Chain A
Amino acid sequence: MIVADQLNKHFKIYETKKGFIGSFTSLLSTKHHVVKAVNDISFNIGEGEFVGYIGPNGAGKSTTIKMLSGILHPTGGSIEVAGLSPQKRRKEVAKKIGIVFGQRTQLWWDLPLRDSFDILKEMYKVPDAKYHAFLKLYDDMLQIGQFMNTPVRKLSLGQRMRGDLAAAMIHDPDVLFLDEPTIGLDVNAKTSIRSFLKELNGKEKKTILLTTHDMDDIEQLCSRVIVINHGQIVLDGSITDLRHNIGLPSVIEVQYREKPQHLPAEFDGIEKMRWEDDKLILMYDRSVLSSPSLLQVVSKWGEPVDIQMKEPDIEEVIQKIY
């Protein structure tokens, strides 16, 4: 469904000077350095896969997505999305993909949400019957009905993101590119968006490529993870592979009123246990042992006065791969 073959994107960064003369000379000057934003990336994503595309800031995630969607032209290599080259046949590809940029809305800022949908309906030539079915379905899934008549600029971030997601699906694309769709959202909004994405992938068999900084997104949604850093793929595999490679643990810190005398040497799901002063630090695998049941376990060992949960973030994870 999505094929990238030895994809490269190099940016020449010219030194720009101020003013008319300056911008004119910098137009002609050849002083520059080359940044390899994407450096020889190849992957093949099959139909119905849900792939997490992760990496630290500036790793080349957005650049890749922009090339896959036809916004940028690669310096080298080739791309196929739904069998077509996004560079040579951008408009056809645009009809087959849906894109959400978490940082920037694709909706008409000053118009009610409904107007954005109406315009997009016209743009993608969606038949009336399909359009009404779409509105109904997405009201069920994302509850967009309640703010359909509100101007987009007055929506909350969570509402806006739901609107953006629905807008990306209006022409029923087979492929979805999601660039940080959960950025800045609160827990509730994140949960509702995740369950929506899960349904899209599970029921409607959409192929989804997702970039995120949230490990929970990856764990709950993605069947496959591609990790990139400095424009190159450092890992391409399942969540289990990722876990295996870096031992993706959740961390909990427990402080007891009195230090428990004896702890079990091993416990199913707990990967590591150590004391740091009077704090017990546990690393555990959430897929084996859920957080609530871990809490029960640690409170059996003694009387906790403080418990802190810690999530490893992507940056930490990437560093571990190296």
Chain B
Amino acid sequence: MNLYLKLLSGSLRSRMQYKMNFLVSSLSYGLIMAVDFVLLAAILQRFNDVKGWNLYEVGLLYGISSVAITLYRVFGVEIHNFERYMVEGEFDSLLIRPVSPLSLLLTKNLDLSRIGGTAQGVIILVISIIGLSLDSFDMFLLLLYLPISIASGVVICFSLGLLTATFAFWTQRIKDFQTFTLYAPFNAANYPMNIYPGWLKIIFFTVIPVGFMNYTPILFLLDKGGSIWNLAWPPAVALGFLFLSLRFWHFGIRHYHSTGS
């Protein structure tokens, strides 16, 4: 724990060395997020009802999904930018330490400029919960479950990020894959799964299980269907998927090629 704090404070101080860059990037991400938010509101205003889901209900899905992916982007920045470790052979320096390379990667850097996106997601969640005007028991259950849903989302996102990163052991580059494994699925998960064709639904509930983090539990919590089991699925899927991705990651490390010097 002590080490974790030391490493994190080190990475933060490294970042602060370039104060101007830090401020500018935070500001620009904030701007991008604000534009994104306005766009979403405009779209939802036009379509009052998306296949039986009203604005606030979709807002709930949207909030969970965007909080999950932005938290991953804050804490998993080095996983997300993992190809640099392959292309420049920097992975070597992680493997000579008596600590797992994954924990070194997670402590190496925080991308605080992404926290704006998290804030935006939280704001949407708050607006949606107020707008839903649920009775007190349903409200209580929703508030209780929301952290679990978000945590499951972060874990699923992290696992997807790690799986994608692991491909870099063979392909070196992964930026192109991320569009298909992270950006597109998480954008899709902003909206209810029942708007998608069957084959896409199958993907979102199997190989890229983003449907589980918000759609499955919210379905039950808003009385739209499903059983109490819908609440058990998200953490179960998240943990199972995390386990798989860690196995794949360790398998990948064995195939690490390094670079010539």
Question: What is A's interface to B at a CB cutoff of 8 Å?
Answer: 11, 14, 16, 19-20, 23, 26-27, 58, 62-63, 66, 69-73, 90-92, 94-95, 97, 99, 101, 103-104, 106, 108-111, 115, 118-119, 122-124, 151, 179-180
Contacts and interface: CB of A to CB of B under 8 A. Distances in A.
A-B complex: 4 closest residue pairs judged by Cβ atoms: A110-B14, A20-B176, A94-B98, A71-B95
A92 B99 CA distance: 10
A109 to B, nearest CB: 7
Contacts of A72: 256-258
A101 B261 contact: yes
Given A95-B98, A115-B10, A180-B261, 5 more contacts: A16-B171, A62-B260, A103-B261, A106-B93, A111-B14
27 contacts: A20-B176, A20-B180, A23-B177, A27-B170, A27-B171, A58-B260, A66-B258, A69-B96, A70-B96, A71-B91, A71-B92, A72-B258, A73-B254, A92-B98, A95-B98, A101-B92, A106-B96, A108-B14, A110-B17, A111-B10, A115-B10, A115-B13, A119-B6, A123-B97, A123-B98, A123-B99, A124-B98
B7 interface: yes
Contact of B10 (A92, A95, A119, A180): A119
Interface of A: prevailing SS = mixed
Interface in B123-159: none
Nearest to B16: A110
A99 B96 contact: yes
B177 A20 contact: yes
B172 interface: yes
B201 interface: no
B2 interface: yes
B84 interface: no
Contacts, number: 88
A118 B176 contact: no
Interface of B: 2-3, 6-7, 10, 13-14, 17, 89-93, 95-100, 167, 170-173, 176-177, 179-180, 254-258, 260-261
Given A23-B171, A119-B10, A94 B256 contact: no
A229 to B, nearest CB: 16
Contact of B96 (A26, A27, A94): A94
Contacts of B179: 20
Contacts of A101: 92-93, 261
A119 B6 CA distance: 6
Contact of A71 (B6, B167, B171, B256): B256
A64 to B, nearest CB: 12
Contact of A23 (B92, B95, B98, B176): B176
Contacts of A20: 176-177, 179-180
Contacts of B170: 14, 27
Contacts of A111: 10, 13-14
A27 B169 CA distance: 11
B95 A70 contact: yes
A19 B176 contact: yes
Contacts of B180: 20
Nearest to B93: A106
Contacts of A109: 14
B92 A66 contact: yes
